[in-house]
Structure 1
């Protein structure tokens, strides 16, 4: 039967009851969701570190090589939208298991491709579960942890990305020191992404569906059972029979967030911040060659080690930012992060214009620190303010705004960089953190500890 008014009230009470209570298992689930980002960091960015070997072997045209690098970003754009919607429609657990299985199959497949064209196809397909897993992971975190703590956990995603990048670079450095053949280096590096995915799949296998999603789908019997197993709480406010609930839709999500000005402003900021941080980070790679030349790095191994050092700094920033969130709030993290990036880029532009390039490595390190702050909560904010029945869709929409600039920058920014030079391009990139800073100041309401009525 369709959900009645008393059942709707019971659903609201049960969800409020779940999200305001704490259990250590919720924290465990949060870390398990974060662990999957290591896999994503490996699959998304390992290609950048081995692209030189792929180019040496196949010598493809620049467009095809660019598609190989950008393929996962394009696939992730599709996966974010489709995966988030499916997470709301068919459940969090089945989507998690499906994405990990696809991770394993496609990561192994890319290690055996016979041409760059096939690599492009496989990496695009690989991007679909990558984008889906991010949006799905955030719904699990928001469903399983209480307000405040779930936001700190959600803000750790950039820390996990940095750790994944450091691990990738460290393993590639070992391969280079061992004098492994170039072909073997790139094939093993890409294929190794299947190993952590397999470990996480095994760890996730017995993870139940979230009680919050089951409540919102009207599956009260299963929700009561899962809540009892997870939290020792049988949700007595729920009736002992299931009800039929109208299915959520994307249009319903977009209409719903406009009803509440707090949720709308927070969501709008999340979209803007996702696009701005994605743009500033995607263009950062164009500064790395300048840095390498300045510090006298010319070998592939040296490049790997210097890049690894930069991401160690990023990992520290990614850990510190979430710890400060309860003290300075989401607005504080956003303002500080975008502000640091904006000032760093102005300093970098001045250094390039005046040939005081000794300042550039310090400006780049500061930029990376600020980026790992301003990017930390851009996914958390839209997901935490969304109603539970729309969380997957909300997370997928937000991640779309991360992947879109990441995909476009690979094709558009090199031409701009060549046309207006390093200093001019640096000033252009500064537009993105400036927009993010203004959005944090004037659009974002403080929503740390936000709970639905």
Structure 2
């Protein structure tokens, strides 16, 4: 279907909202497909089903994350070449195919294959959707629009936990209940495909490809007349500067100020994962079982983790428009680290106590309140806005690649670590990593709030060029 818009929307604000909701179904799929494994694993592991061990359990979980790393890395580059909208549309078809494949797979080998394909789609969506939203949003609403993708991610995880609990409790005696859990992700995949047929391409991408009249038309549909023209001229100027340079490639990051931005993007992505968030999102049911809950009780209790995530992200979307990114991230990381420290301490002090599972549940809820209310929204927002236009797809893709690689490593080793050294020691490790994350953000992450993407690009170029020059003088002396 053509990138030309179909029909005339009621007003630009309503149409922009429709675009945002349509695109963020990619985030909903991201959330459901990463969260559904949480409740499916106990049933997949049964002897009459896939008979999983801690190693194969880690493999089934982490192979999606490996696929996501590859999808994020190449997805950004492909979206730079073919367009954000077209690639999100293609991803929706891959989501649908892989969702059905995992549900029908008769053995571990095919589960691994289709989970890997699903990971490619998840990773592509994780890098493309925030970049697309950042380019469609007016600068004063960019923070809220991009972080609404985070709301859809945790909303997808909550849906997964709710359906896991309903199916797990009502069909617990049916071993293949995990197949129904996996099948359900085909529904939002179909919705994403249909809705993206009616969404326009990013005006920044259209301008970069010389389709200036189409870009201006899109802007007039999502901005008022004067602002559309002013923003179009600003985008056109930025693109013309970029055209004087060679096409985006990895060698661009050899330039000192761009290399520094890339390292910050990668660092922020890694910090997001070393909090240990996905050990809870993937293995929350397992953690609650380890602390003392039965399987059914753990499935139901795990809904609290999904619910607090949604509430926290709604708060985070409001907060990100009120405060700067850097302090918000530091406060969030401090909260997650303290929550994990308390889980580790109480797991030692109250080992065997009937109160322990309820305390662990309360602390995982506290952890997710800080994680999804502060850390998650800022992570995706900074990755989406820190890179210059010409390198945004590639830069965000590389950053999210590292996010998924670290996620994959944690996803694979967590059940092995939990079975070998226990809950307390496992979380003490995450506490140490959390402290390193706080130090990184405090020392290296710049503030990105309050500027258009073009103003931010110029600001970081000047700031990091000066820093590089000072470092060169110091080394020379």
Fold conserved between structures, TM > 0.5: yes
Preserved contact between residue 173 and residue 305 of structure 1 (Cα < 8 Å): yes
What is the alpha-carbon root mean square deviation over aligned residues? 2.9
Which 5+ residue runs of structure 1 have no aligned equivalent? 1-21
Q: Please, which moves more after superposition, 247-256 or 400-409?
A: 247-256
Alpha-carbon separation, structure 2, partners of 1:75 and 1:325: 30
| Superposition deviation, residue 320 in structure 1 | 0.8
Alpha-carbon separation, structure 1, partners of 2:38 and 2:272: 19
Q: 1:397 to 1:379 in 2, by over 3 A?
A: farther
Preserved contact between residue 154 and residue 377 of structure 1 (Cα < 8 Å): no
Residue aligning to 1:341: 336
TM-score after normalising by structure 1 = 0.84
Q: Please, which moves more after superposition, 56-65 or 105-114?
A: 56-65
Preserved contact between residue 216 and residue 388 of structure 1 (Cα < 8 Å): no
Q: 1:138 to 1:354 in 2, by over 3 A?
A: same
Alpha-carbon separation, structure 2, partners of 1:81 and 1:444: 22
Residue aligning to 1:439: 440
Preserved contact between residue 131 and residue 384 of structure 2 (Cα < 8 Å): yes
Number of aligned positions between the proteins: 424
Q: 1:407 to 1:146 in 2, by over 3 A?
A: same
Matched, 1:282 2:278: yes
Alpha-carbon separation, structure 2, partners of 1:253 and 1:132: 22
List per-residue Cα deviations over 1:399-434 (Å, max 9, x = no partner): 112211221113334444455443332221112221
Preserved contact between residue 148 and residue 448 of structure 1 (Cα < 8 Å): no
Alpha-carbon separation, structure 2, partners of 1:169 and 1:416: 24
Residue aligning to 1:14: none
Preserved contact between residue 27 and residue 129 of structure 2 (Cα < 8 Å): no
Residue aligning to 2:466: none
Alpha-carbon separation, structure 1, partners of 2:194 and 2:417: 45
| Superposition deviation, residue 390 in structure 1 | 1.9
| Superposition deviation, residue 81 in structure 1 | 0.4
Preserved contact between residue 265 and residue 386 of structure 2 (Cα < 8 Å): no
1:395-406 maps to which residues of 2 (within 5 A)? 395-406=396-407
Preserved contact between residue 168 and residue 299 of structure 2 (Cα < 8 Å): no
Q: Please, which moves more after superposition, 423-432 or 230-239?
A: 230-239
Matched, 1:135 2:148: no
1:119-134 maps to which residues of 2 (within 5 A)? 119-134=111-126
Residue aligning to 1:392: 393
TM-score after normalising by structure 2 = 0.80
Q: Please, which moves more after superposition, 217-226 or 391-400?
A: 217-226
Alpha-carbon separation, structure 1, partners of 2:347 and 2:298: 21
Q: 1:302 to 1:78 in 2, by over 3 A?
A: same
Alpha-carbon separation, structure 2, partners of 1:288 and 1:195: 24
Residue aligning to 1:259: 257
Residue aligning to 1:367: 367
Preserved contact between residue 277 and residue 432 of structure 1 (Cα < 8 Å): no
| Superposition deviation, residue 61 in structure 1 | 5.0
Preserved contact between residue 273 and residue 375 of structure 1 (Cα < 8 Å): no
Matched, 1:52 2:42: yes
Alpha-carbon separation, structure 2, partners of 1:418 and 1:292: 12
| Aligned mate of 1:315, from 304, 310, 317 | 310
Q: Please, which moves more after superposition, 100-109 or 160-169?
A: 160-169
| Aligned mate of 2:106, from 114, 123, 134 | 114
| Aligned mate of 1:201, from 160, 182, 193 | 193
Say which SS state the counterpart of residue 102 (structure 1) adopts: helix
Residue aligning to 2:19: 29
List per-residue Cα deviations over 1:373-393 (Å, max 9, x = no partner): 212211211221212222222
Preserved contact between residue 66 and residue 405 of structure 2 (Cα < 8 Å): yes
List per-residue Cα deviations over 1:317-370 (Å, max 9, x = no partner): 111112111222101220110010122222233323433875544333222212
Matched, 1:148 2:120: no
Say which SS state the counterpart of residue 138 (structure 2) adopts: coil
Matched, 1:377 2:396: no
Say which SS state the counterpart of residue 323 (structure 2) adopts: helix
Which 5+ residue runs of structure 2 have no aligned equivalent? 1-11, 456-477
Alpha-carbon separation, structure 2, partners of 1:269 and 1:160: 25
Residue aligning to 2:154: 162
Say which SS state the counterpart of residue 449 (structure 1) adopts: coil
